[in-house]
Structure 1
């Protein structure tokens, strides 16, 4: 019975695609009668009419359309399974699509992609830089690097958590020399705040940690609200005030002492960094090699 199910799927799908039993028979090197009998046998077993026959064309019924979509998915998954097994015998090659956040992609991901591409010259890498949520299946993405986003992923997606952001308060030494170095949360709130402005026009509050380790958010007045994190860094380095930033974003100005961390005891965890990919692709050498390379990502 199982063999017959698979055997009848192909004539059905090809008949729908071809528009007639005759055209399907030519593609399958069968007789029109054999194709017609295969469809009739399928309808009898399912107890539903799949196709409306006319003298010229075939039309899917509602039940037929639903079954056709299922058959397409089965055939696609079989083809992908065969491609994966074949690909395991080859070196990583072919087009590979990666999606990364704008700024983190540039600062955190690109340094790993350069040696990856040098090591795998047969891979054609296409990288999408975007802070919007990207649907991997709709946009044909092989691997995505995400900061934040949903954690309850469907079973069709694989994921690997790479750690959480470390949030720090900072300003330039020159600003702190002028305005004073705060030693408490309340003193910090008296300073000129440079906040991140969300797309809806609201500002992101500051995140603090209580003495017993619990996070709490505080809305603060600001001297400037910017809808771009790179612009926030520029305003900070220009000595315009104080901001709370993920440490990965200000690693370079911190290393050259252009910025100074304030209240070092206040470094709460921020968003999660994760890798996400379609499970059906994870055995492809090109995807597996990219996941291995991105395993070196850090966000602290």
Structure 2
């Protein structure tokens, strides 16, 4: 007879790329996983997994057990959460994924405080700047910065906070090279590119506030990184002009470490949003409670509440170098 422990054990194997990875997730040795899987197959009288090298393939019986077992575990989790909610508790397992920089600065503190307030809940926070490449089945909540290119019908998008993109540079850079007065001037400047979210990071799209005309500029970055903090540090060190999110550089602009440029143009906004499954949203109180807690910390918007806009530095723009 199957037990819930059997179902959870097999679900861990199904979600893992290998038995060794499943062993790590289960905090046991790889031989222990192999032995328990063999015992489960003998008890059921059916092969569940075909092992070919490092790859695992489910048999028909394995597919059946994985699908039905997933439903049973989901129902049990729903029941446990519903009972806990009636007693005023939040429980269960919450899997959150967020961008590296924003997640470190704004999501991680909320995760820690939320778990302290609700000790019966277990939270896993994964930080990645390539959320699009992470299967939605592996997370309950995804925090995203920027435009959503193609959200599937099974996902719901909720806004958390406004966020603009700004072009900025350090006073030391502007003192040497001058400030661009038009987006096309950027072609003659040293630019810093941030490679994230699979975007075309060297095509900067501006829109004139006065005329509404769009201007696209293809920059040739002298420096590029996949880490926003590295790009920000380079900019502060005077190594070039960078396009960064308002949330990341507002404090630097207020402190005079960076100067906002081309203020008569706007860039595509990068709102802070949260993605979640429509099915999960309807049934998981822990998801709704956490989103509420996150929204509360972002209202009023921290980077707008603290920043006092600093006028553009008055530096003559040099001719093309």
Segments ≥4 residues shifted beyond 4 Å: 56-60, 62-74, 197-203
Change over 3 Å in CA distance of 1:220–1:86 after alignment to 2:
same
Map of 1:295 onto structure 2: 295
The residue that corresponds to 1:248 in the other structure is 247
Cα drift, residue 245 of structure 1? 1.4
Q: When the two structures are aligned, how many residues end up with a matched partner?
A: 245
Equivalent residue, structure 1, for 2:257: 258
Gaps of 5+ in 1: 1-10, 18-55
1:226 aligned partner: 225
Q: Is the 8 A contact 2:130 2:198 kept in 1?
A: no
Q: Residue 187 of structure 2 aligns with which residue?
A: 189
Alpha-carbon spacing, 1:108–1:251, altered in 2? closer, same or farther (3 Å): farther
1:70-149 to structure 2, matched below 5 A, reads: 71-72=68-69, 74-90=71-87, 91-133=89-131, 134-137=134-137, 139=138, 141-148=139-146, 149=148
Deviations 1:110-139 (A, max 9, x none): 3433443443344333211112222231x2
Q: How far is the alpha carbon of 1:74 from its aligned partner?
A: 4.9
TM-score using structure 1 length: 0.66
1:237 aligns with 2:236: yes
Larger RCO, structures 1/2 (Cα 8 Å, 6+ apart):
1
Q: How does 1:136-215 map to 2 (within 5 A)?
A: 136-137=136-137, 139=138, 141-148=139-146, 149-155=148-154, 157-162=155-160, 165-197=163-195, 204-210=202-208, 212-213=211-212, 215=214
Contact 1:171 1:243 in 2 (8 A): yes
Preserved CA contact (<8 Å) 1:199 1:227:
no
- Normalised by the length of structure 2, the TM-score is 0.63
Alignment of 1:27-46 (within 5 A): none
Structure 1 residues 267 and 117: alpha-carbon distance in aligned structure 2, compared to 1, 3 A threshold? farther
Residue equivalent to 2:267: 268
Alpha-carbon shift at residue 63 of structure 1 (Å): 9.1
Using the TM superposition, give the Cα deviation of residue 265 of structure 1 relative to its aligned residue in structure 2, in angstroms: 1.9
CA shift for structure 1 position 246: 1.4
5+ residue gaps, structure 2, are 7-43, 49-58, 305-321
| Alpha-carbon separation, structure 1, partners of 2:93 and 2:66 | 27
1:255 Cα deviation from its structure 2 partner: 2.3
Counterparts of 2:292 and 2:234 in 1: how far apart (Å)? Answer: 36
- Greater Rg, structure 1 or structure 2? 1
- CA-based RMSD: 3.6
Compute the displacement of 1:171 (Å).
Answer: 0.7
1:4-19 mapped onto 2 (5 Å cutoff): none
